[in-house]
Amino acid sequence: ILPKKVTIIEVGPRDGLQNEKAFIPTDEKKAFITALKKAGFKEMELTSLVSPKWVPQLADAEEIIESCVDVATRNFVLVPNEKGAKRLYASRANAVAVFVGTSDTFNKKNINKMTKESLRELKPLISDFKRKGYFVRASISTAFHCPYEGKISEEKTLSLCNQFVDYGVDELCVADTIGMATPTEVYSLFTKLKATFPNILISAHFHDTRKMGLANVFAALQAGIDRFDSSAGGLGGCPFAPGASGNVATEDVVYMLEQMGISTGIHLDELTKALAIIRPYLSRPLDSAYLKTTGQL
């Protein structure tokens, strides 16, 4: 049985923008986030407290957090290490996302550490986050396929998830970083995740490289998932994962779910207005069937 209601976590301001080459003025990002909130999102990834040398687009993280955090929304900020944690504590953010790749090669390219080293560093940080009252999500990158190491076994992903659950996270966000997973793989892994971790929130994060994003959302729904990351306009991609394209477009996910009678709480007109704010600053075209079919592409 499919859920009657799902939560969409809008990742446009973070995953969506992190790969944009030309720096987008901070005020435009703020206006984008404010407009997205107006569209109804209760959970969003705002930005990342990562090295500005690695991800220059998000160098304005502190300013974004300062103006965009509000109590009515769960405002996720990505933190890769202790330095990021210090920056987090100095900010008003109320939710944190840590991220680790299943594969050492990807993790090294993304955060310059082997997966095990990252876990060692994150364990005490996660305890600290929990003690201080943050909501903590752990994003599992390359949960299905790695651009360097190929197919990832379910055992490997489940074991990484198990570590994070032991460390005390509130949510596992399981990601198809390069958009290679098929609905069969998605159904199988999420079914196992639900059975293994019945008391933890689990969300699905799909990139749409091979246009399997919506099919994968449906497969995850069938496996009992009711939390989905997506990005307005299909923006996004990880700069350290070659071959990755944008996230599955929020408006396509919302359109599909609402047509299926599953409530999302998101207003598509307002979402389109939010996109119009950021669009002039983007270096690549938007990718969304909803915008195309409503004559807005």
- Give the catalytic positions in this structure: 238
Contact 77, 93 (CB under 8 A): yes
The correct pick among 47, 81, 216, 231 for binding ligand HMG (CB under 6 A) is: 81
Please give the residues from 225 up to 244 whose contact with ligand HMG meets the rule CB under 6 A: 238, 240
Which DSSP state fits 132?
Answer: T
Partner from Mg ion, ligand HMG, none contacting 171, C-beta within 5 to 8 A by type: none
Taking the C-alpha atoms of residue 55 and residue 24, their distance in angstroms, rounded to an integer, is 13
Burial class (CB in 10 A: 0-12, 13-18, 19+), 142: buried
Taking the C-alpha atoms of residue 191 and residue 198, their distance in angstroms, rounded to an integer, is 11
Partner from ligand HMG, Mg ion, none contacting 275, C-beta within 5 to 8 A by type: none
- Does the footprint of Mg ion cover residue 15 (CB under 5 A)? yes
Pick between residue 140 and residue 257 the one whose CB is nearest to ligand HMG.
140
At its nearest, how many Å lie between ligand HMG and the CB of residue 258? 25
User: In sequence order, what are the residues at sequence separation of 6 or more whose Cβ sits closer than 8 angstroms to the Cβ of residue 169?
Assistant: 98, 126, 136, 137, 138, 200
Q: Which stretch binds Mg ion (CB under 5 A): 10-18, 44-52, 63-71, 92-100?
A: 10-18
Tell me the C-alpha to C-alpha distance, in Å, between residue 45 and each of 109, 155, 208, 291.
22, 28, 18, 22
- Does the footprint of ligand HMG cover residue 84 (CB under 6 A)? yes
At its nearest, how many Å lie between Mg ion and the CB of residue 199? 25
Which residue is closest to Mg ion by CB? 15
- Does the footprint of Mg ion cover residue 10 (CB under 5 A)? no
Residue with tokens 């550490």: 113
User: In sequence order, what are the residues at sequence separation of 6 or more whose Cβ sits closer than 8 angstroms to the Cβ of residue 25?
Assistant: 281
**Site of interaction with ligand HMG (CB under 6 A):** 15, 18, 48-51, 53-55, 78, 80-81, 83-84, 87, 99, 110-112, 139, 141, 175, 177, 205, 238, 240
**Site of interaction with Mg ion (CB under 5 A):** 15
